[in-house]
């Protein structure tokens, strides 16, 4: 790729709005330089607020990561300009909706190729800490599928501000500002679960005479229990935007959460207290040429100096396996013929490494916090051809919240 493509990057570096505007009409706004940065990455890291707004007006991508694995939004939080962070959150949600619309035809086609069904999943969040266990929720998620229509009945919609949110309508602007406050007051976090060294072993019970554990799940699935080893949570944290007071408050928030408390700050009129923009970091004297001539992903820091921590933690999960594919089982019941496994039947073996035991997972227990475990139970599944159409009609008084589930 020639350096001509990076003229928009150079224009951002030199804060040249006129040149940037011309470049956006000629060159790919999604182009990445040798360090994996887009022009929007540079605009955010350098604090070029007018360049940020111009790039967003031309729909520069927000979710994209650079060569070091950080998104534009992460770099914006590090710099600490609140209006910029708010603009990026809004644009991120808009782009997520647009991407979903682009994928809609393929999704509709895939849904139409599957038989209609009804299923139930039960979510349980449990803890061995008594005070925590009292505030953890549970819910049964009911899923109806007919043609290209999907209906999901559930009351749990989000986990935000250390509180579980149940169904309801929220003001869009208020929710966006709440998200900005949360981003500005907590660690910048990039985390993923690695399954490269995953393995399965039969779970056993007994101290002297050991035996393989079995369990009747949901009163109907005679299942074998397995322990999943080798799961690794790899996380990277940055907190250069946080003060020592912020760190103390975050510790207090966590302690409040374990007691079921509410920690949001309000002023004397009952309005939420919002985070202010941070003072800009000292301006770096790095030139465009120095930036581009530096070793890949080892360029001089352009924004706030990072305070960085990387960690990995192994953990175990438990999975209950029913010996046959549930989809195949119910298909056999409908057609009154024996079922044979096929590559299109969803089962553990089709989605995990070859060491995974055969059959269908009907219960999974997974630690999500040091003291909290999530348990998902596959309670019921059946193919149905009698799901009424009115179940998929939108109520006349329904008001859509476009910020809810932005990735869907």
Q: Mention every residue, 6+ apart, whose C-beta is less than 8 A from residue 381.
A: 117, 118, 119, 120, 326, 327, 330
> What is the tens place of the pLDDT at every residue in 83-94?
999 999 999 999
Question: Which structure tokens are listed for 369?
Answer: 């916090």
Mean pLDDT of 27-48: 95
Specify the pTM. Answer: 0.73
- Reported for 200-204, long-range contacts at CB under 8 A and 24+ positions apart, including other chains, are 200/226, 200/227, 200/228, 200/229, 200/319, 200/355, 200/356, 200/357, 201/226, 201/227, 201/229, 202/226, 202/227, 203/227, 203/318
> What is the tens place of the pLDDT at every residue in 249-278?
777 766 655 444 455 566 666 667 788 999
To the nearest whole percent, how much of the chain has pLDDT over 90? Answer: 41
- Answer for the pair 202, 355: CB distance below 8 angstroms, yes or no: no
User: What's the CA gap between 358 and 321, in Å, rounded?
Assistant: 8
Q: Mention every residue, 6+ apart, whose C-beta is less than 8 A from residue 277.
A: 80, 81, 82, 83
The pLDDT of residue 154? 82
Higher-pLDDT residue of 316 and 270 is: 316
- Answer for the pair 321, 360: CB distance below 8 angstroms, yes or no: yes
- Please say if the pLDDT value at position 203 is more than 80: yes
Nearest to 86 by CA among 186, 190, 182: 182
Q: Mention every residue, 6+ apart, whose C-beta is less than 8 A from residue 214.
A: 222, 223, 224, 225
Question: Which structure tokens are listed for 354?
Answer: 């070859």
- CA within 13 Å, CB half, 113: 7
pLDDT confidence of 156, banded at 50, 70, 90? Answer: low
Question: Which structure tokens are listed for 195?
Answer: 């399954």
- Answer for the pair 192, 202: CB distance below 8 angstroms, yes or no: no
To the nearest whole percent, how much of the chain has pLDDT over 70? Answer: 77
The pLDDT of residue 352? 42
Quick check: helix, strand or coil at residue 358? coil
Q: Mention every residue, 6+ apart, whose C-beta is less than 8 A from residue 197.
A: 230, 232
- Please say if the pLDDT value at position 366 is more than 70: yes
The pLDDT of residue 402? 55
> Where along the chain do its domains lie?
3-97+239-304, 115-235+311-391
Instruction: Look up the CATH architecture of domain 3-97+239-304.
Output: Alpha Horseshoe (1.25)
- Please say if the pLDDT value at position 149 is more than 60: yes
- Answer for the pair 56, 29: CB distance below 8 angstroms, yes or no: no
Higher-pLDDT residue of 334 and 367 is: 367
User: What's the CA gap between 161 and 238, in Å, rounded?
Assistant: 19
Q: How far is CA 280 from CA 81, 300, 306, in A?
A: 8, 17, 14
Q: Which parts of 5-55 are beta strand (E)? A: none
The pLDDT of residue 285? 87
Phi, psi of 372 (to 5 degrees): -125, 135
> What is the tens place of the pLDDT at every residue in 219-249?
888 899 999 998 888 889 999 999 888 888 7
What's the mean per-residue pLDDT of the chain?
81
- Answer for the pair 372, 257: CB distance below 8 angstroms, yes or no: no
> What is the tens place of the pLDDT at every residue in 94-132?
998 899 899 989 989 998 998 999 999 998 887 776 666
């Amino acid at each position: 790729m020639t350096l001509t493509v990076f003229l928009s990057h150079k224009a951002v570096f030199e804060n040249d709005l006129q040149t940037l505007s011309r470049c956006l009409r000629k060159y790919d706004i999604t182009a990445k330089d040798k360090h994996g940065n887009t022009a929007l990455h540079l605009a955010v890291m350098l604090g070029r607020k007018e360049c940020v707004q111009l790039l967003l007006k031309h729909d520069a991508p927000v979710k994209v990561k650079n060569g070091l694995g950080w998104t534009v939004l992460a770099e914006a939080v590090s710099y600490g300009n609140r209006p910029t962070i708010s603009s990026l959150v809004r644009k991120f949600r808009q782009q997520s909706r647009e991407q979903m619309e682009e994928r809609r035809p393929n999704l509709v086609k895939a849904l139409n190729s599957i038989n209609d069904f009804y299923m139930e999943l039960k979510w349980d969040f449990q803890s061995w800490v008594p005070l925590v266990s009292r505030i953890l929720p549970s819910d049964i998620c009911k899923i109806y599928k007919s043609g290209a229509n999907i209906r999901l009945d559930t009351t749990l919609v989000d986990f935000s501000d250390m509180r579980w949110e149940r169904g309801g309508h929220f003001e869009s602007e208020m929710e966006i500002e709440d998200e900005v406050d949360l981003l500005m007051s907590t660690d910048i976090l990039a985390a993923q679960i690695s399954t490269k060294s995953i393995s399965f072993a039969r779970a056993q019970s007994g101290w002297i005479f050991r035996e393989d554990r079995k369990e009747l799940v949901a009163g109907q699935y005679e299942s074998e229990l397995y322990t999943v080893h080798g799961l690794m949570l790899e996380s990277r944290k940055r907190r250069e935007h946080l003060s020592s007071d912020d760190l103390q408050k975050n510790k207090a928030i966590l302690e409040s959460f374990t007691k079921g408390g509410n920690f949001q700050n309000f002023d004397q009129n009952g309005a939420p207290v919002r985070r202010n923009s941070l003072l800009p970091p000292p301006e770096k004297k790095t030139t465009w040429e120095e930036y581009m001539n530096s070793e890949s992903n080892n360029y001089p820091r352009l924004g706030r100096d990072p305070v960085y921590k990387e960690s990995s933690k192994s953990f175990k999960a438990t999975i209950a396996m029913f010996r046959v594919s549930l989809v195949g089982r119910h298909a056999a019941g409908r057609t009154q013929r024996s079922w044979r496994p096929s590559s299109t039947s969803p089962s553990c073996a089709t989605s995990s490494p070859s060491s995974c035991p055969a059959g269908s997972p009907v219960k999974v227990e997974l630690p999500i916090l040091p003291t909290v475990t999530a348990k998902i139970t596959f309670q019921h599944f059946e193919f149905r051809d009698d799901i009424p159409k009115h179940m998929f009609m939108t109520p006349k008084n329904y008001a859509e919240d476009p910020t809810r589930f932005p990735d869907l």
